């Protein structure tokens, strides 16, 4: 089981209401659970949320009608094919952190004036985040560093958790992108995210192994420490 409850607690993130979609608290929790799983059946979500599968299916129906989730049938198993639900791209802008400050229009204008300045803007932001985070990682073991970095990313709206694959081998999973519009337009955002992790975990090898902009349900980073 993922190291979410022990390390991060039951954090459902900050789901922003929009004029198009008004969700109940339970529907928000179901949506976050879907995003954290990547894909899940109603029964799996019921186990995670500790509510009945029938209640989950009712909430999934609402979310599906709103275009926030989609489903595919899992075939090849005995019995009736199970529906496996995943979040759609429409959910990405719903999860925001306070004062994110990113403006796609402003960045586009900056790029038109000076393309190199966009790179410097993302680099400046990365350095600022690194300096803030370093104080929380000082003198920690790699296990605690990964836990702390995951918690920081979760606070930033990434719906982050991590798996411990083996001793000194981890995978950090980001189930949401709070700067989705920017990341789709400016790949510097994704590059800065990777370098952020590499700088905070300098003794480890950090590789991106799944990417939302490439069609994955999550962004995932493999963290390994040799020896």
| pLDDT attached to residue 194 | 95
User: Contacts by 8-11 with C-beta closer than 8 Å and gap 24+?
Assistant: 8/150, 8/151, 8/154, 8/160, 8/161, 11/154
Q: Which of 126, 100, 106 lies closest to 189, judged by CA?
A: 126
Architecture in CATH of 17-94 = Orthogonal Bundle (1.10)
pLDDT values of the chain reduced to their tens digit, one per residue, 227 residues = 354 434 433 333 344 443 356 788 899 999 999 999 999 999 999 999 999 999 999 999 999 999 999 999 887 667 678 899 999 988 877 775 544 444 677 788 888 989 899 889 889 989 999 998 988 898 899 999 999 999 999 988 899 999 999 999 999 999 998 888 888 888 898 999 999 999 999 999 999 999 998 888 899 999 999 75
Of the CATH numbers 3.30.1380, 3.40.1000, 3.40.50, 2.130.10, which one belongs to the domain with range 104-224?
Answer: 3.30.1380
| pLDDT attached to residue 68 | 94
Q: Which of 219, 209, 124 lies closest to 179, judged by CA?
A: 219
| pLDDT attached to residue 97 | 53
Q: Do domains 17-94 and 104-224 have the same CATH topology?
A: no
Three-state secondary structure along 105-137? HHHHHHHHHCHHHHHHHHHHHHHHHHHHHHHHH
CB burial readout 143-167, b (16+ within 10 A) else e: bebbbbbbbbbbebbbbbbbbeeee
Q: What is the DSSP string of 37-68?
A: HSSB-HHHHHHHHTS-HHHHHHHHHHHHHTTS
| pLDDT attached to residue 227 | 57
Give the residue extent of every domain in the chain.
Answer: 17-94, 104-224
Residue 74's DSSP bridge partners are 82
| pLDDT attached to residue 12 | 36
């Amino acid at each position: 089981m993922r190291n979410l409850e022990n390390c991060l607690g039951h954090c459902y993130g900050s789901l922003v209401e929009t004029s198009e979609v008004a969700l109940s608290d339970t529907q928000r929790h179901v949506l976050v659970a879907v995003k954290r799983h990547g894909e899940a059946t109603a029964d799996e979500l019921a186990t995670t949320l500790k509510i009945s599968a029938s209640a989950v299916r009712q909430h999934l129906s609402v979310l599906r009608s709103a275009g926030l989730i989609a489903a595919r049938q899992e075939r090849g198993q005995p019995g009736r094919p199970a529906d496996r639900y995943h979040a759609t791209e429409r959910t990405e802008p719903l999860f925001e952190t306070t004062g994110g400050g990113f403006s796609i229009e402003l960045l586009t204008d900056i790029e038109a004036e000076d393309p190199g300045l966009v790179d410097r803007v993302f680099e400046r932001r990365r350095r600022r985040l690194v300096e803030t985070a370093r104080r929380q990682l000082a003198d920690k073991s790699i296990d605690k560093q990964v836990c702390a970095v995951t918690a920081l990313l979760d606070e930033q709206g990434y719906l982050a958790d991590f798996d411990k694959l083996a001793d000194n081998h981890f995978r950090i999973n980001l189930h949401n992108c709070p700067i989705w519009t920017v990341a789709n337009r400016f790949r510097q955002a994704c590059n800065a995210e990777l370098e952020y992790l590499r700088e905070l975990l300098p003794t480890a090898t950090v590789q991106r192994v799944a990417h939302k902009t490439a069609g994955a349900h999550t962004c995932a980073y493999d963290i390994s420490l040799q020896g």
